[in-house]
Structure 1
């Protein structure tokens, strides 16, 4: 019997060595979670005899328990590297359609624009939708693959131009009729770039000419062609009047601060450009002419320039035209018993009966952690502790081997009795 008891000890010590060795081997594996061998004693019966002197039958491995403590977060230069600070797992879809869960966030892009890990598993996100007023929301009921755009983004024509300028009240009224080629016929000018429906750029120039006390005219030219107010004849200016304190009083005789310009035909197959000119904030003070703000809402087409991911997991695509758009929101999963997850390799886990079903959510909500872009979670293995465990497992193995040696000596002694 001592042989079998010692043999169970050797097997347990060997398992302990295997677990410790695996921890040490994966000490540099991103997202790896160390394991711990747990043991239980063995008795022939669960009910001890009345003398309470029943000898044990050895030891067995009760379980190899995974330890899901937080690993150190190391920063990288790749925005697609992701780390979770807190609870949660990234959700992956394998090529065979099955789902896996991981803490390893080293991702890249395949030739079709899908964000994948080294095993070609695709990162899962909640899809982005644009609602009323351009507000972006996320469909948290359905998971989908995160795919970066591989084609240029569509252009958007200019529909609104906002002008916030200060017109110098001390300037004199020009004495000659307005002519864009004659600087003496107007007081000041400024310009901006506007875009047609094909994304072609056009230069819009605004000329300001004082017409009297607290009264100004603005002439709008696009690519050298006059664009009057809507429904007016060519050459008709936009009129601005100011009150005695320099504030804007009327635009084209009305109380509204914006007015629509006549459609402009760019002549290149694109649709006509129809713009609203917004003058709110324009003033007439006794100081030099100044352009405080001049913006428009159009843009040309652009190619993907980069990807940004915020702490809530929202993935933004940045384009060369200065625009950005949300592509999705990284989905996270948690389990009632994460130690019950089944290890499937490649630093991935799969759902099991013991773990329970995954609970999906968003970073920064409920008990889910936050996502750090440009960072990776390192292994939570403590090398110093593992080396101590290695020594302990080795001593246990040697001690059990000594039990076998001693039992063998006793048995040999009995055999040699004459």
Structure 2
């Protein structure tokens, strides 16, 4: 019994080491959210077992939960670098398969077609707005900046306000709103599925996305010219790394002790 209990302990410690290593590896990844390993006790007993004699048989990994606390904000100066100073996720859509993804990494740029995209080519999603920049509907669309305005003037720059309004500037001095950044929130963000590149997809555990404009309700405002860094605390992760290593060593020692006891029993002489 002790062999399998300690073997489970080794596997759990290895899982914890893997999660911590992943956190440390992404300490410089913009928009990354750290994870932690949570364990639960395993107990076996039947209806006929004396409750005072029920013996635990180890532990198992209960969940690998995500921590969505706000990471440090770094100033970059680029108008299309966005940080959310509060709750919410940027909403993007893949041009390849049309899948909607969510991210806290606000590093965007203009594509050759005028679309505002992330580093993977996913298009930032906007709400439609009127000429004054007021949101006129909740239907999401790709963020596309016209290369010329109605008067034929060339596009020269773009700015994004705290409330998410994307304004395009043109050579004739005019400024025209393109749309408003759509932020998403979830009842249970811990249920979001990680898909890499600091992106998540909605699942049944997270619940459906609720969309809103930055600065309204529970949605945080936007900070243009800044990026949210990873919320990984290296000092905390290194302490966890040492703890997981000690747990691994202790379980390995328990297996070694059980082996010695078994060997002693086998070698008994009558």
TM-score (norm 2): 0.96
Which residues of 2 match residues 382-401 of structure 1 at below 5 A?
A: 382-401=233-252
Distance in 2, Cα, partners of 1:47 & 1:120? 58
Aligned to 1:55: 55
Which residues of 2 match residues 15-414 of structure 1 at below 5 A?
A: 15-45=15-45, 49-95=49-95, 96-130=97-131, 135-150=132-147, 152-155=148-151, 301-414=152-265
Structure 1: gaps (5+ residues) = 156-300
- The structure with more radius of gyration: 1
Distance in 1, Cα, partners of 2:122 & 2:190? 22
Contact 2:165 2:177 in 1 (8 A): yes
Contact 1:24 1:386 in 2 (8 A): yes
Moved more, 141-150 or 8-17: 141-150
Aligned to 2:6: 6
Cα-to-partner distance string for 1:35-66 (whole Å, 9 max, x where unaligned): 01000010113869334232111110000000
Distance in 1, Cα, partners of 2:46 & 2:80? 54
State the 1:138 CA deviation. Answer: 2.2
Distance in 2, Cα, partners of 1:46 & 1:101? 46
Greater fraction of residues in helix: 2
Distance in 2, Cα, partners of 1:136 & 1:370? 16
State the 1:119 CA deviation. Answer: 1.1
Greater fraction of residues in strand: 1
Contact 1:48 1:54 in 2 (8 A): no
Distance in 2, Cα, partners of 1:86 & 1:45? 47
Cα-to-partner distance string for 1:347-397 (whole Å, 9 max, x where unaligned): 111111110000011111111100111110000000000000000000000
Q: How many residues align?
A: 268
Cα-to-partner distance string for 1:300-345 (whole Å, 9 max, x where unaligned): x421111110100000111121110100000000000000111111
Contact 1:32 1:378 in 2 (8 A): yes
Contact 2:45 2:54 in 1 (8 A): no
Cα-to-partner distance string for 1:45-92 (whole Å, 9 max, x where unaligned): 386933423211111000000000011111102110111010000001
Distance in 1, Cα, partners of 2:133 & 2:32? 35
Structure 2: gaps (5+ residues) = none
1:52 is paired with a residue whose SS is: helix
Distance in 2, Cα, partners of 1:80 & 1:353? 32
Q: CA 1:48–1:114 in 2, change beyond 3 Å: closer, same or farther?
A: farther
Contact 2:44 2:56 in 1 (8 A): yes
1:59 is paired with a residue whose SS is: strand
| Displaced runs of 4 or more, over 3 A | 45-49
Distance in 2, Cα, partners of 1:67 & 1:392? 20
Contact 2:123 2:142 in 1 (8 A): yes
Cα-to-partner distance string for 1:208-248 (whole Å, 9 max, x where unaligned): xxxxxxxxxxxxxxxxxxxxxxxxxxxxxxxxxxxxxxxxx
